[in-house]
Amino acid sequence: MPVVLSPWTDRRRDEAAARPVQYGPLVTRRDDDAMRRFRSYGLGQFIHFGLYSIPGNQWNGKTSTSPAPEWIRSWRGPDAPENWTETYDRLNEVFDPTELDARAWARQAKQMGARYVIFTTKHHDGFALWPSAYSEYTVASSPCDRDLVGEVVDAYTAEGIDVFLYFSVLDWSHPGYTRTVPACDDSRAGWQDFLDYTRAQLLELLDRYPAARGLWFDGTWDESWIASHEFTHRLEQELRERRPGLIIGSRLRNDEHGARHFDSTGALLGDYEQGWERKLPRNREMLDGNDWDCAMTIGPNAWGYMHDTSGHYQKTADDLVDLLMRCRSMGGNLVVNFGPDGSGRMTAHETRVAEQLGDWVAQNAAAVYDASHVDLEPTGMGHLTGNDDSLYVTVTHRPVTGVARLRFPGSATLVPVTARLLATGKPLELHRRDIGYDLDSAIHYDVLIPADFTTGRAFVIELALGRPTAQNADRADAFM
């Protein structure tokens, strides 16, 4: 069967053309503690750290043309430093992040409001941030000689932040790695060696770090991996057996027809949709009720440290609040990426943004964590989240009328009964309105935003929900 590469999050398959699938999902929608926890994380932190953090996107004063700073090893062309690949591959000899204090990172993440962290144990260059017994190319071969994965797992766990281990399958350091399907005996043997090594490293990670809650896979798009569907199916099974409750997103494997993230019948290949990278779904309907998160950079397409950020827009805390609440309104989590520099220090911009985002989240926590998608018409004012008791309106676009108007279906059994500003608790006037749109069966609830309330940030209106009263029920329409 030829391998068919499928586009990134392609789920819209022609049902008539759907082929039988043998290597489909190993799990159906889980509702255990781990997944319920995942659904209430709300906000996460991603950290990209490794050898690429040393150059950032620069070497000897020149800015690299590689697609992203963590891809700097692939810098080619006339501007690339001489023998660049060899130079890069030897960065382990100087890797020594003396400023890296995982406890300080974890405290910062906690203040930001992150409930989970995804940490790069090994990126595409193959350099392992733990002293892996299955590779020479690890922290143990550097002056650093610390178990950075262990430090991160311990520090974040101590702060109550769940840890997910990022692992790139794609590995430029392994001689057996090949992008295409191995076609001769030698390359087949090399590939098998690579698969054994990958499996061994993954089991090693699970055994060394029992506190880790999930594995976050990357670099699984090459033909060679896609053609290894029997192996990856077995591997996923083995990982799940080894660590019951482990969370694995949809980026590990594909079916035998090459369909990634979703198999050829459209079924999700993992516990949650892991294809939302630097982009969000347009609407909730696109998600078919699946769990999901969105991994988002603060700068451009830069996950690792970027030394030279000139000309690149850096997202603000306001951007991130908007993205966070947009995700929550569609039932997902936002994972904000950080790229510390080669010494292990977070950048000034990321630090500032983390603080500001954290202040906002702390004041509006109820709207973020225990509130998720609500079945109400979206509002142009901002984003709706809620639960059985409360509805939260995160106002990013304040109406000039001073009235925050919400539409509820006429048949709603739970409607707003009181309103207040979530951050301060200040009560707000709430009115049920008869707007007079023809044939509109909706009920409108108006919250009055006091003119003297000023803020430079998005704000949240909390509405307590209760049973509708009989108000207006006895008023008949005029006969015409």
- Show contacts with ligand FHN in window 69-88 (CB under 6 A): 70-71
The C-alpha atoms of residue 389 and residue 23 are separated, in whole angstroms, by 42
Q: How many CB atoms lie within 10 A of CB 349?
A: 14
Query: What sections of 340-410 are H helices per DSSP?
Result: 348-363, 365-368
- Show contacts with ligand FHN in window 18-57 (CB under 6 A): none
Q: Does an H or E element contain 230, and which? A: helix 229-242
Comparing CB distances to ligand FHN, the nearer of 116 and 392 is 116
Query: Binding residues for ligand FHN, how many (CB under 6 A)?
Result: 7
355 burial via Cβ count (<10 Å: 0-12, 13-18, 19+): middle
Q: Is the distance from CB of 120 to CB of 128 less than 8 angstroms?
A: no
Least gap, CB of 300 to ligand FHN (angstroms):
12
> Does residue 295 bind ligand FHN (CB under 6 A)?
yes
Q: How many CB atoms lie within 10 A of CB 267?
A: 17
Half-sphere exposure of residue 38: CA atoms within 13 angstroms, side-chain side: 27
CA distance to 122, 130, 148, 180, 235, per residue, from 152 (Å): 14, 11, 6, 34, 25
Comparing CB distances to ligand FHN, the nearer of 68 and 287 is 68
> Reduced to 3 DSSP states, what percent helix, strand and coil does the chain have, rounded to the nearest 5?
30, 20, 50
Comparing CB distances to ligand FHN, the nearer of 89 and 277 is 277
Position 405, amino acid? R
Diameter of the chain by CA atoms?
Answer: 88
Nearest to 51 by CA among 166, 119, 139: 139
> Does residue 252 bind ligand FHN (CB under 6 A)?
no
Binder of ligand FHN out of 127, 177, 197, 303 (CB under 6 A): 303
Contact segment (CB under 6 A) with ligand FHN among 67-75, 279-287, 444-452, 467-475 equals: 67-75
Least gap, CB of 396 to ligand FHN (angstroms):
26
The C-alpha atoms of residue 117 and residue 295 are separated, in whole angstroms, by 11
Comparing CB distances to ligand FHN, the nearer of 255 and 277 is 277
The C-alpha atoms of residue 198 and residue 279 are separated, in whole angstroms, by 29
Comparing CB distances to ligand FHN, the nearer of 41 and 303 is 303
Cα-only R_g, the chain: 25
> 94's torsion region: left (phi>0), alpha (psi -120 to 50) or beta?
alpha
> Does residue 172 bind ligand FHN (CB under 6 A)?
no
Least gap, CB of 395 to ligand FHN (angstroms):
31
What is the residue whose two structure tokens read 């027809």?
Answer: 257
> Does residue 371 bind ligand FHN (CB under 6 A)?
no
Binder of ligand FHN out of 43, 51, 54, 68 (CB under 6 A): 68
Q: Is the distance from CB of 162 to CB of 110 less than 8 angstroms?
A: no
Least gap, CB of 305 to ligand FHN (angstroms):
12
> Does residue 419 bind ligand FHN (CB under 6 A)?
no
Q: Does an H or E element contain 84, and which? A: helix 84-89
Contact segment (CB under 6 A) with ligand FHN among 66-74, 132-140, 175-183, 222-230 equals: 66-74
> Does residue 460 bind ligand FHN (CB under 6 A)?
no
Least gap, CB of 263 to ligand FHN (angstroms):
20
192-221 mask for ligand FHN (x: CB under 6 A)?
--------------------------x---
Contact segment (CB under 6 A) with ligand FHN among 68-76, 89-97, 172-180, 307-315 equals: 68-76
Comparing CB distances to ligand FHN, the nearer of 57 and 385 is 57
Comparing CB distances to ligand FHN, the nearer of 68 and 80 is 68
Query: What sections of 115-184 are H helices per DSSP?
Result: 148-158
> Does residue 277 bind ligand FHN (CB under 6 A)?
yes
Comparing CB distances to ligand FHN, the nearer of 151 and 218 is 218
- Show contacts with ligand FHN in window 99-158 (CB under 6 A): none
**Vertex 206, ends 203 and 207: CA angle to 5°?**
85
For ligand FHN, the nearest residue by Cβ is: 303
What is the residue whose two structure tokens read 């004041």?
Answer: 363
Comparing CB distances to ligand FHN, the nearer of 134 and 221 is 221
Comparing CB distances to ligand FHN, the nearer of 75 and 303 is 303
**Using CB under 6 A as the criterion, which residues of the chain lie in contact with ligand FHN when the complex forms?**
68, 70-71, 218, 277, 295, 303
